[in-house]
Chain A
Amino acid sequence: MLKIENLHVTIKEREILKGVNLEVKAGEVHAIMGPNGTGKSTLASVVAGKEGYDVTAGSITFNGKNLLELSVEDRAREGIFIGFQYPVEIPGVSIANFMRTALNEIRQYRGLDPLNGAQFLRLMNEKQKVVELTEKLSNRSVNEGFSGGEKKRNEIFQMAMLEPQLAILDETDSGLDIDALRIVANGVNQLKRPDNATIVITHYQRLLDYIVPDVVHILYDGRIVKSGPKELALELEQRGYEWIKEEYEQGKLA
């Protein structure tokens, strides 16, 4: 589904990603871990198509399409979703209007008829349950005045609405208390299907107690230096990142 090969990315002439290789197949959950400043969020932003990043070498393909040629919105319409670490507040734009516009533009891109008002409201009500957002959401402005936990739940709600093929959740666990973490993780698990995939970017193993990954990657110094089964996350939790740094500097890792 997603194939990243030898990806090199610079921001303002500073190289952040130095040859990332990653392949994600349908039905899989991947975790990307690593210390601060190693390029985890950069990787998510480059897949999303955010401006300000120069891809100097390598490729990203999604279902065989060259993703780097597509605009931000077309990547979303192809089925990519980013759960942001810091979702922005947009005063005056209601969640209902936001989601209806998004959904219908995606449907139009795929040659489907737009949802009418009643169909849309039904869908909203159904999907709010995924993240236990019982409060009447539809007329509130996007993220305005939301707590940290509500913002993250709103991200997962949007994911539920848009049903992406590939969701990249960037530090979705940061700033969440244990209840919010459980709700967010349950939401992600409910949305899991054989034909979609999830990449979870996180610092801590904690989230991976709830969202169990098939593969864990360690991103360090702009490269994926080690990949392994879910037990690798536990090992990181116990031993920290120091041994990774040492092994990397001794040239033992990829």
Chain B
Amino acid sequence: MKSFAEALKTLSQFRQQTAPDPYRPVEEYFKCQVSQMGSEMLPILNGWYVHDSDGLTTYDNGVVAGSLKTALQRCPELVRPALSRISDKERNELTDSNEQQFNDGIFIYVPDDVNVEQPFQIVSLVNSRDDLLVQNRHVIRVGRNATLSLIQCDDSIRSVSHFLNIVTEISLSENATLHYYKTENKEADSHLFHHVFVNQQAFSMFQSNAITFNAGYVCNNIHVNLSEPFAEARLYGLYLVDKTQQCDNHIKINHIATDCKSYQLYKGILDDEAKAGFHGHVAVLPDAQRTNAFQTNRNILLTDKASVNTKPFLEIYADDVQCSHGATVGQLDDEALYYLRSRGIGERSARKLLMFAFANEVCNYVRIPALKDRLSDMVQRRLNGELTICDQCLLHNANHSELFFPIDETKI
């Protein structure tokens, strides 16, 4: 795993883009065609929020969403309580750099008792010939008894090198629910560091599904504080990497209060010379009695040169707790392969069926049916070697005819 200090040195070789002016029409560039999802799009291009007219929208139900910088000017009282709440213990070189120099980012505020039915979707694209540095900061606040689904897509479209240093701060009030879906599909010469900090109050529920389809170097850090009783965090992750790609997942869950639950399931398939790291740390503090914490990391290595470094780690100071952790690194099950082949399925197809079954478990936890189908389909095609970047973005299709995507017949 790369250290953050090392990463900062790499970061300093990249340049940030100044705010583009004038902004370009949104619809022309960003339109996710994931059918029936009808998400509310929050587009970012090269680190800058893209919008037609107003940088910040207030919806009928009181939800406020748009540019973080605009929000800081117009409604600082909504933003401040949730911005820069990272403790000294949690911060590092990259989060410091982000704090000092972030371009912009997305701010979403859901008032108390509002159930937001339409998912919000942050789509961050990098399309630049320069060695671009993007430092985004997102702040998500979900009020008491409120619910939100948020999808975050990080894609790149040109195979030039760039560096993304993203910090997302999430604060969930009492009995709030956030379903957070993250997909990453990055070119080989990219670096993506994403720090997610979550603070949960009583009875709140946080679920994240982080799916890495392609990575130059991707490092996902999720830091959850279960600050009040009966909060629950469910973290699912999947990484499908090949060639020389590398994906690290660092997870830290602090069980601070009593009666909280945390689950982690991270799975990976590694081909060629790809590398992955899983560092899952669950800390159960002395007052956190009746904690339930479960942690699993499972990996399939398809070649001898692929490698994974897995380190599940429980640190327990309370005595009335239920915790378990486990990690596996292995190959496909020979008996299952034989069984499939004995029914006439060729070895290649049999391997793909088993890999898909292994990986798709993570997609099965996605609660939005259209997104779940889409992600399953992308996993399938990734394993077939057909998927390079998400072909649902108009930007990819319209401007880059050299990219070829076979028609997905199952969706017609």
Within 8 A of B (CB), among A32-78: 48-51, 71-73, 76-77
- The listed residue (B333, B341, B360) touching A73 by CB distance below 8 A is B341
Tell me, yes or no, whether A204 is within 8 Å of chain B by CB. no
- Asked, given contacts A93-B353, A97-B353, A98-B353, whether A105 binds B345 with beta carbons under 8 Å apart, the answer is yes
Q: Is the CB of B342 within 8 A of A72?
A: yes
Asked if B346 contacts A73 (CB within 8 A), the reply is yes
Q: Which residue of B lies closest to A91 (CB)?
A: B357
Chain B: which residue is nearest A117 at the CB level?
B410
Q: Which residue of the partner chain, among A82, A98, A106, contacts B340 with CB atoms under 8 Å?
A: A98
Question: Can you name the residue of chain B whose Cβ is closest to the Cβ of A97?
Answer: B353
Provide the residues of chain B in CB contact with A87, threshold 8 Å: 339
Mark out the residues of chain B between 342 and 366 whose CB falls within 8 Å of any chain A CB in the assembled complex: 342-347, 349-350, 353-354, 356-358, 360-361
In the complex the two chains form, what is the Cα distance from A34 to B210 in whole Å? Answer: 55
Which chain B residues border A72 with CB–CB below 8 Å?
A: 338, 341-342
Q: Enumerate chain A residues within 8 angstroms of B349, measured Cβ to Cβ.
A: 101, 105
Q: In the assembly, what is the distance between CA of A74 and CA of B344, in Å?
A: 6
A141 to B336, CA, bound (A): 12
Q: How far does the alpha carbon of A105 sit from the alpha carbon of B354 in the complex, in Å?
A: 16
The answer to whether A158 has its CB under 8 Å from any CB of chain B is yes
List residues of chain A with CB within 8 A of the CB of B338.
50-51, 72
B335 interfacial by beta-carbon distance below 8 Å: yes
Given contacts A90-B357, A91-B357, A93-B357, contact A76 B341 (CB under 8 A): yes
A90-B354 in contact (CB<8A): yes
Given known contacts A92-B360, A92-B361, A101-B349, A76 and B343 CB-to-CB distance under 8 angstroms: yes
Partner pick for A158 among B333, B343, B357, CB 8 A cutoff: B343
**Could you tell me the distance between the alpha carbons of A232 and B144 in the complex, rounded to whole angstroms?**
78
Contacts of A180 in B (CB 8 A): none
- A102 near B345: Cβ-Cβ < 8 Å: yes
User: Per a CB cutoff under 8 Å, which of A49, A88, A141 touches B335?
Assistant: A88
Q: A residues within 8 A CB of B361? A: 91-92
Residue-wise, chain A 160-181 has the 8 Å CB interface mask toward B (1 for contact) of 0010000000000000000000
B357 x A76 contact (CB < 8 A): no
Q: Which of A93, A103, A105 has the most CB of B within 10 A?
A: A93
Minimal beta-carbon separation of B299 from chain A (angstroms): 16
Residues of chain A lying within 8 A (CB to CB) of residue B336: 88, 90
Considering the complex, give the chain B residue whose CB is closest to the CB of A82: B342
Size bracket, chain A contacts: 20 to 34
User: Do B344 and A106 touch (CB < 8 A)?
Assistant: yes
A120, CB-defined interface residue at 8 Å: no
A146 within 8 A of B: no
A71 to B349, CA, bound (A): 14
Would you call A73 and B344 a contact (CB within 8 A)? Answer: yes
User: Contact between A90 and B339 (Cβ–Cβ < 8 Å)?
Assistant: yes
Q: Which residues of A contact B356 (CB under 8 A)?
A: 92-93
> Given known contacts A90-B354, A92-B358, is B339 in contact with A162 (CB within 8 Å)?
no
Query: From residue A11, how far is it (CB to closest CB) to chain B in Å?
Result: 15
Please, which residues of chain A bring their CB within 8 A of the CB of B358? 92
Residues of B within 8 A of A105 (CB): 344-346, 349
Q: Cα distance A49–B338 when bound, in Å?
A: 9
Known: A50-B338, A88-B335. A102 touches B343 (CB 8 A): yes
| Cβ distance B371 to chain A, nearest Cβ, rounded Å | 19
Inside 8 A of A48's CB, which chain B residues have their CB? Answer: 342
Nearest residue, chain A, Cβ from B364? A92
Residues of B within 8 A of A77 (CB): 344
What is the CA–CA distance of A72 and B342 in the complex, to the nearest angstrom?
6
- Could you mark each residue 304-326 of chain B with 1 if its beta carbon is under 8 Å from any beta carbon of chain A, else 0? 00000000000000000000000
Query: Considering the chains assembled together, what is the distance between the CA atoms of A77 and B345 in angstroms?
Result: 9
Q: What's the minimum C-beta distance from B354 to chain A, rounded to whole angstroms?
A: 7
Kindly report which residue of chain B lies nearest to residue A50, judged by CB atoms. B338
Interface residues of B in 175-214 (CB under 8 A from A): none
Q: Can you name the residue of chain A whose Cβ is closest to the Cβ of B410?
A: A117
* Nearest chain B residue, comparing its CB with the CB of A84: B339
Complex Cα distance, B345 from A90, in Å, reads 14
Instruction: Give B22 Cβ to nearest chain A Cβ, in Å.
Output: 49
Give min CB distance, B362 to chain A, whole Å.
Answer: 11
Cα(A71)–Cα(B335), bound, Å: 15
Within the assembled complex, what's the spacing in Å between the Cα atoms of A91 and B175?
34
**Contact call B344/A162, Cβ cutoff below 8 A:** yes
In the assembled complex, the CB of A46 is this many whole angstroms from the nearest CB of chain B, namely 13
B345 CB contacts on chain A under 8 angstroms:
73, 98, 101-102, 105
Q: A76-B343, A90-B354, A98-B340 are in contact. List 8 more A-B contacts (CB 8 A).
A: A50-B342, A76-B341, A81-B342, A90-B339, A92-B357, A93-B354, A98-B353, A105-B346
8 A-B contacts (beta carbon < 8 Å): A73-B341, A76-B342, A82-B342, A93-B340, A93-B354, A98-B340, A102-B344, A103-B344
Closest 4 CB pairs of A and B: A92-B357, A76-B344, A102-B343, A106-B344
